[in-house]
Each structure stands twice: as structure tokens, then as C-alpha cells.
Amino acid sequence: MRRCLSILGSTGSIGTQTLDVVRGLNLKVCALAANANTALLEEQIREFKPELAAVFDESAAKKLKIAVADTPVKIVSGMEGLCEAAAMESADLILNSVVGMVGLVPTLTAIGAGKDVALANKETLVAGGSLVMEAARKNSVKIIPVDSEHSAVFQCLQGCPEKKALKRIILTASGGPFFGKSRDDLVQVTPEQALKHPNWNMGAKVTIDSATMMNKGLEIIEASWLFDMPASKISVVVHRESVVHSMIEYEDNSVIAQLGLPDMRIPIQYAITWPQRFPSPVGQLSLTDYGKLTFFEPDLQTFSCLAACKNAIERGGLAPAAANGANEVAVKLFLDGRISFLQIGDLVHRAMENQPDIQSVSSVDDILNADRSARDYVLNAVG
Ligand SMILES: NC(=O)C1=CN([C@@H]2O[C@H](COP(=O)(O)OP(=O)(O)OC[C@H]3O[C@@H](n4cnc5c(N)ncnc54)[C@H](OP(=O)(O)O)[C@@H]3O)[C@@H](O)[C@H]2O)C=CC1
Ligand SMILES: CC(=O)[C@@H](O)[C@H](O)COP(=O)(O)O
Ligand SMILES: [Mn+2]
């Protein structure tokens, strides 16, 4: 059982739910990290008493240092500070729940320091999957999935006798708030409408990704790296209720699924306690309360981001990093009211097409450069 956690992104949706799990399991917190939410970080420092707190934003870090001067916590800042939290000597698990590909370098730092990583930050694997998985193998570090679908697959695989018996991974997708709509229906949708996820209460970026179904595309790439499966063996089925969190199919066509209420504290807790299980704050699933569960084919025409990610993983190399970087910027532009909902998918496609077809990814700089050039492409295209 883990004793002390370092939590990157502690003020976010996954971070605060992780701290809820930590309370229930009576674990210690060695380090906390966030971007700029010093008010919540101060509360967390006072409750969990970490040795270290990292604040990415320099001026927010200065503010926090003054606010918690009466406590022994060490305050650090910037990427260096985030990496110090990621390599925390006293931590036996780093839970990475920062949003976006800014989580890549801290993940690699944690792995380099020999720390197991519970990974919610899917953009890290999408952009830098080959480097992350190779570093994990070299350092004998475990990457434990937190993302609900990947936790489901991981849980189903606990009984898998041999990898070659596994035929397919089936990821479930809620379909988001715009399930069943055509492209014409989506021309005018607002950020407010896109932020209404039917089943999950999450941070803004992943909620928009769910609405465009980019999230499911990112998750195909994430699954491909985590479970060493080609994208051709990863299917997506729309399941409106988000009760079946994902499935695996064996050679003999037997399908194993993991089910539960849509509450991230189940996969978060499993990532922390694996391979053990403990009582959880989440309620029991009552299938009779649901009555029926529904399943549909995804609509790749309307939700073009899903098609873009399939294309990215098939192209390989730096294409997924480009698709991810373009999407991160496009989502922000949409939330700021500067582009329309449908432009997100268009820009992701175009930024990826604009990326030279480079197959070999030999360094973090390759990924950071592809990410930067995709972001610049989107910003220039929008003007
Ligand atoms: N929410 C969910 O249910 C799920 C989320 N995920 C994935 O988990 C990740 C986090 O999502 P979610 O919790 O929803 O996101 P939120 O937006 O709610 O939280 C993001 C967290 O990251 C921190 N952060 C952002 N930028 C930086 C930075 N540069 N340095 C340090 N910390 C930073 C934020 O700090 P601050 O508050 O100061 O801005 C905040 O703590 C994403 O990759 C998402 O796709 C996966 C499955 C489910
Ligand atoms: C909770 C979680 O894991 C999210 O990634 C969720 O899957 C989003 O829902 P969609 O299935 O709508 O993308
Ligand atoms: Mn998910």
C-alpha cells in the first residue's frame, strides 16, 4: 500500500477528488502542485501539511509563500518547481492530474526518479507516449491509469492470462451533450452548451473534448500506449449512461466489462491501492435503477476530432503531438468565444496536415517543437 503521494494538479477536478480518496484511506501527502489557484492550495496545505508545494505561475507562487509563511512548507515555482514535486524523494506515488501537455516533462521527471505514476493527464501519453513508455520500461516504473476507460481496461486485464489471448479493447464514449446532432445543428452551439456533460462533472478542457469527441480520440491513443495495442484493435462504442466504463474482448469473443457509477473516485482509488481494493466513498451501482443501458456507433462525420485522432495514430511519429497541441489551443479559443465549435475539428485536421511527416521521435524537444508549431499554426490561422 502506498504511504505518501505527490499530487500534481491538486486544485482541479481530479486533484480534489484524489484528496477526497486520500482522506478516506488516511494517506499522507508529500507534495502538492497547481498552476495559480493559491486560495485552494493554501487550504490544502493547511489540511494535508505537505513538505513541498509547487505553483507554476511565478507571481502566484510569491503570493502563496507570504500566505503560508507561518507553516514549514517549501514553496517552489515554474516548471522546475513542478518537476521537484514530481521527483519528491519521500513520495512513493506521483499522481499527475494537471491538464494539458505541460504534464509531459514532470511525468518524465517522475519516471527518471524511479517513481510510479498514476496518470490522469492523458495529453502526456498522446504527445509523448513512445518516450514515456520507453522511460518507464527502462526505469522499471509502473504507469497506472486513472482515466476511467483505461482504469476499466486495466481492471479487466487483471484476469488476463496471456496478452496474445486479447483480441480487442472496446472504449465506451458517452457521446457528450451533442449526441445525435448533425454538423448543421452544431454551427451555433455555445461554450455554455458544450460545457454541459451528461454524466461527468469535470474540468472545462476535458468537458469540451468530450463534446467534440476529441476526448475519445485522445483515449484511443492513450490506450494504444498503455496497453501496447495497435489502434486497429481499439474500438469505440457510444454508451450514453457511462456505467460500462470499457471492455476487453478475448480471442474466443468473450467480453469482460468493468461497471460502476460515473464517479472518478473509483478509478482514482484503484490507481492508488492497486492491486488491493478497499471500501470507497462511491455508492453501489444499482442496474435496476438504470433499467436499460444503450449502445450506438460513433458518428465520425459530425465528430471529426475522433476521425482526426484515428488518423494521427495511424500516421504515428509527431502527428499525435500536433493534433493534441492544436486541440489545446483551439479549445481555449472556443471557450474565449473566438472560434466556433466546429472550427475546433477543422483546425485540428489542418494543423496535423501542416505537420511534416516525421516518424522518429527521439527526444522531448521533438515533441515540444511539434506541439509549438501546431499551436502557432492554429493561432496564425485564426488571426
Ligand atoms: N476531470 C475528470 O473527471 C477527468 C480528467 N481527466 C484528465 O485529467 C487531467 C486533469 O483534468 P481535470 O482535473 O478535469 O482538469 P482541471 O482543469 O479541473 O484541473 C487542472 C489542474 O491542473 C493544474 N494546472 C494547470 N496547468 C498547470 C501548470 N502549468 N502547472 C501546474 N499545474 C497546472 C490546475 O491548477 P489551477 O487550479 O491552479 O489552474 C488544476 O489543478 C486532464 O488531462 C483530463 O483530461 C481524465 C479523466 C477524467
Ligand atoms: C471520466 C472520464 O474518464 C472522462 O474522460 C470521460 O470519459 C468523458 O466522457 P466521454 O465519454 O464523453 O468522453
Ligand atoms: Mn475518460
Instruction: Tell which one of 242, 243, 270 to mutate to probe ligand 2, the residue whose CB is within 8 A of the most ligand atoms.
Output: 242
| Strand-pair partners of 31 | 6, 52
Q: Backbone phi, then psi, for 313, in 5-degree steps?
A: -70, -30
Q: What is the pLDDT of residue 327?
A: 98
String of DSSP letters for 137-184: HHTT--EEE-SHHHHHHHHHHTT-S-GGGEEEEEEEE---TTTT--TG
User: Which residue lies with its CA nearest to atom 2 of ligand 2?
Assistant: 148
Compute the distance between CA of residue 68 and CA of residue 53 in angstroms, rounded to an integer.
10
Q: What is the pLDDT of residue 337?
A: 98
Task: Determine the atom of ligand 2 nearest the C-alpha atom of 216.
Answer: 13
For the CA of 173, the nearest ligand = 2
Instruction: Tell which one of 8, 14, 95 to mutate to probe ligand 1, the residue whose CB is within 8 A of the most ligand atoms.
Output: 14
8 Å CB contact between 100 and 126? no
| Strand-pair partners of 117 | 94, 143
Distances (CA, A) of 271 to 134, 244, 268, 277: 20, 18, 5, 10
Q: What is the pLDDT of residue 359?
A: 79
What string of pLDDT tens digits covers the 383 residues of the chain?
899 999 999 999 999 999 999 999 999 999 999 999 999 999 999 999 999 999 999 999 999 999 999 999 999 999 999 999 999 999 999 999 999 999 999 999 999 999 999 999 999 999 999 999 999 999 999 999 999 999 999 999 998 878 889 999 999 999 999 999 999 999 999 999 999 999 999 999 999 999 999 999 999 999 999 999 999 999 999 999 999 999 999 999 999 999 999 999 999 999 999 999 999 999 999 999 999 999 999 999 999 999 999 999 999 999 999 999 999 999 999 999 999 999 999 999 999 999 887 778 889 999 999 999 999 999 999 99
8 Å CB contact between 104 and 130? no
C-alpha dihedral, 256 to 20 to 222 to 294, nearest 10°:
40
Residues in the chain: 383
Task: Determine the atom of ligand 1 nearest the C-alpha atom of 200.
Answer: 3
CA atoms within 13 A on the CB side of 214: 30
Compute the distance between CA of residue 31 and CA of residue 53 in angstroms, rounded to an integer.
6
Q: What is the pLDDT of residue 160?
A: 80
Q: What is the pLDDT of residue 355?
A: 85
* Burial (CB count <10 Å: 0-12, 13-18, 19+), residue 69: exposed
Q: Judge whether 215 is annotated as a binding position.
A: yes
Hunting for cell 449526441 — which residue is that?
179
Strands 28-34 and 4-8: parallel
CA atoms within 13 A on the CB side of 131: 23
ipTM above threshold 0.95: yes
Task: Determine the atom of ligand 2 nearest the C-alpha atom of 148.
Answer: 3
| Span from the CA of 203 to the centroid of ligand 3 (angstroms) | 12
Predicted model pTM: 0.98
